[in-house]
Amino acid sequence: MPIHAPHAQLFNSVKLEVAKAKLGHEGRKSSYAALNLVAYIDMMTMLVIFLLMSFSATGEILFVQKNIVLPDAQNWTDLERAPVIGVSKDVVTLDGAQVATADELMKDSATGDFKIAELHDKLVTLKNNYKLLHPSEEFNGIAIIQSDKNVEFKMLKKIMYSVAVAGYQNVNFAVVPKAKGGGAAPAP
């Protein structure tokens, strides 16, 4: 019996050349394809850079309510954590909970007292809670009024009075920061 050099014995029993070629995958490209990831990585890098540039470490302190349009100002400072009083044309809210309606505030008080009782009481509670939770810190007395730009001063003065009577001497107004002529925001 002759000795043959070893070689591929696959499909020798198949007589048809076409079928042999089919079974042996002859002449076909590999089904593995390299994905081109350059464009994908470029896009991700750009996205990360954009998001890092707009990143704010303080987080979102104020949420814009849908019925409040804020005025814009040039001489702004950064927000701080403080009770937020929302003033729209219809209602007054403290941290999202309604404390008075605009109709109540637009009426002239019979007694001449501007104080909004519910707002005052809640602010006093918040102040006392702050003092209990931060006994070593001095109370800064900051309250932020987030008012619609078309609200009249008649409403605002009652709110400001209630806030001041509750012990918050630093009343701040939420604004949309407007770019100024190159200067930075002034120090408080």
> How many chain residues interact with other proteins (CB under 8 A)?
58
Q: Can you tell me the distance from the alpha carbon of 47 to that of 49, in angstroms, rounded to the nearest whole number?
A: 5
DSSP state of 45: H
- Near other proteins in 67-106, by CB under 8 A: 70-80, 87
Q: How far is the CB of 103 from other proteins (least distance, A)?
A: 15
Piece of 6-14, 23-31, 63-71, 121-129 that binds other proteins (CB under 8 A)? 63-71
Contact 84, 168 (CB under 8 A): no
Neighbours of 59 (CB within 10 A): 7
Which CB, 14 or 79, lies closer to other proteins? 79
**Which one of 1, 3, 5, 34 is in contact with other proteins (CB under 8 A)?**
34
Piece of 16-24, 116-124, 132-140, 157-165 that binds other proteins (CB under 8 A)? 157-165
Long-range residue pairs from 59-63, CB within 8 A, at least 24 positions apart, any chain: 62/144, 62/146, 62/174
Q: Can you tell me the distance from the alpha carbon of 171 to that of 168, in angstroms, rounded to the nearest whole number?
A: 7
Q: Is 111 in the site for other proteins (CB under 8 A)?
A: no
Contact 131, 125 (CB under 8 A): no
**In a 10 Å sphere around its CB, with 0-12 CB exposed, 13-18 middle and 19+ buried, how is residue 9 labelled?**
exposed
Q: Is 61 in the site for other proteins (CB under 8 A)?
A: yes
* Site of interaction with other proteins (CB under 8 A): 34, 36-38, 40-41, 44-45, 47-48, 51-52, 54-56, 59-64, 70-80, 87, 144, 147-154, 156-157, 160, 164, 169-177, 185-186, 188
